[in-house]
Structure 1
Amino acid sequence: MLVEERRRMADLLDGLDAGQLATPSLSAGWTVHDIGAHLITYLKFGQLKLYWGIVSMAADFDRLNRELTAKAARMPTPEITARLRRWSTSKTTIPRSGYDPVLADILLHDYDVRLPLGIERDMPEDRLWVAFQHLAAKPSPGYAMGSRLAGLRLEAVDTGWASGSGAVVRGEAESLVLAMSGRAVGLDALDGDGVPLLRERVASPPPRGPLERLKTVVKVVVDPPPPDRRSRDAAANP
């Protein structure tokens, strides 16, 4: 799935004109071109870069991503897409988390590119499942989820997936995944008593200091991963 998504993204970016590439994406501060640059930053020596970010930046992954992406974004888009294809089979993973957060990341950035440009896609359900499960169960530190989903029950009306307990947030899986990841564009298609709370948390995420970021990293290293988070089970689970 990862290889297919990387190659598909390369094809998508190669088909865009200069104006489209300069369009602001759903990721604040990044253009569509920048999204492509971000997606190649960890394909080589990815775990080393992550460990370097933990040590040198107190696990401030937002800063790490900004710096690595700004450097890669100096390249023209054709060079970025060539590298995305060349390294599409990269097996770099998030330490202790496997491939799921990597697939979730490229899936979310696919939305970041397509939605502002009005490009439609029928997202494969098995890939949505991986993103839903990863964000709901135990997201890796780079996602800065914090307590965003605490006290909420997430229900996907089109697939039957559900997670959590508390005030209900209900809607199609695609909109749920967008909102769960902090993308406000998904909120308007959701309903339920928990939507106002989720909207508030997405709009005003609490600041995360160095100590809190490091605690999150330690928790990921120490705690075992949930048994159902592995992508190899994705085809059966939906």
Structure 2
Amino acid sequence: MDIRGAIADERVELAALLDGLTEEQWEAPSLCTGWRVREVAAHMSFGFRTGRAQMVRELLRARGRLHRMTDTCARRDAAAMSEAELAAALRDNAHHPWTPPVGGPTAALGHDVVHGLDITVALGHERRVPLERVRLLLEGVTPRSLKFFGADLTGVALRADDLEWSYGGASGMPVRGAAQDLLLVAFGRALPPGRLRGEAADRFSGAFRERPQGESGESPQRP
């Protein structure tokens, strides 16, 4: 798989989707706790718009707390940038070589795919991420990654409906759903009710609500 090509395609596709959102949708809560759609969009392009020196300054202001830094910057940039600018920041940087501190290009693809789903699933949008992209990311799910993103799969077995992929032992309670929804579970997200099936499905479903502006708690890491 051409990962860099997939990253570029994902960004262009998401930018086109953002272009079509209404003002109400931009203000709607995403699956990222405390962030509206516009904060997620601002966060997605933060690495493209921020040089190393500025990144260090932002981290120092946050007293070395990465989550606090990303939360503060997402809120600030979401307020400062227009909807058109937020979409353009993705489109214009489709081929930007940025990657997260750990994980390389695959992690960069995961960053774009999961945050795109944070938006589309929360809005009830029917976009389906190409299965080859989802498969690559699901193959990287490990106990270490689950811990990093705060996903507790103890006693659970994930089973994809549209891919030959599963995670968890035969004795685990099955949770079934579309591969992209199970990817969200593995990244610590709570999904809207009705997207998952199985005895333990309710454990990963529930209402998501916006945290008041300015509040910056220490929750599990976002991709």
> TM-score, length-normalised on structure 2?
0.73
How does 1:105-184 map onto structure 2 within 5 Å?
Answer: 105-136=111-142, 138-139=144-145, 144-146=148-150, 148-165=152-169, 167-172=172-177, 173-184=179-190
Return the alpha-carbon distance in structure 2 between the equivalents of residues 24 and 208 of structure 1. 18
For residue 7 of structure 2, the aligned residue among 2, 5, 11 is: 2
How does 1:23-172 map onto structure 2 within 5 Å?
Answer: 23-45=28-50, 57=62, 60-73=65-78, 74-136=80-142, 138-139=144-145, 144-146=148-150, 148-165=152-169, 167-172=172-177
How does 1:7-18 map onto structure 2 within 5 Å?
Answer: 7-18=12-23
Structure 2, unmatched stretches of 5+, are 1-5, 209-216
Q: Relative contact order (C-alpha < 8 Å, sep 6+): which is higher?
A: 2
Sequence identity of aligned pairs in percent? Answer: 26
- Give deviations 1:143-200, integer Å, cap 9, x for gaps: 8424623454322233121223352333131221222222221664434455466669
SS in 2 for 1:89: coil
- Give deviations 1:28-68, integer Å, cap 9, x for gaps: 22222222111110124466677667776576332121112
Contact 1:10 1:84 in 2 (8 A): yes
SS in 2 for 1:24: coil
SS in 1 for 2:191: helix
Q: CA distance change for structure 1 residues 39 and 193 in 2, over 3 Å: closer, same or farther?
A: same
Structure 1, unmatched stretches of 5+, are 217-238
Contact 2:191 2:205 in 1 (8 A): no
Return the alpha-carbon distance in structure 1 between the equivalents of residues 37 and 151 of structure 2. 29
Return the alpha-carbon distance in structure 1 between the equivalents of residues 121 and 144 of structure 2. 26
RMSD, aligned α-carbons: 3.4
Contact 1:179 1:186 in 2 (8 A): no
Return the alpha-carbon distance in structure 1 between the equivalents of residues 51 and 144 of structure 2. 20
Output the amino acid matched with 1:155: R
Contact 2:157 2:168 in 1 (8 A): yes
- Give deviations 1:50-109, integer Å, cap 9, x for gaps: 766777657633212111212221111112222222222111112341122221122122
Number of aligned residues: 204
The residue that corresponds to 2:3 in the other structure is none
> TM-score, length-normalised on structure 1?
0.69
SS in 1 for 2:140: helix
- Give deviations 1:106-147, integer Å, cap 9, x for gaps: 21222222233332123210111133233446439xx84246
Output the amino acid matched with 1:94: P
The structure richer in helix per residue is 1
Q: CA distance change for structure 1 residues 193 and 2 in 2, over 3 Å: closer, same or farther?
A: same
Return the alpha-carbon distance in structure 1 between the equivalents of residues 130 and 16 of structure 2. 17
Output the amino acid matched with 2:121: L
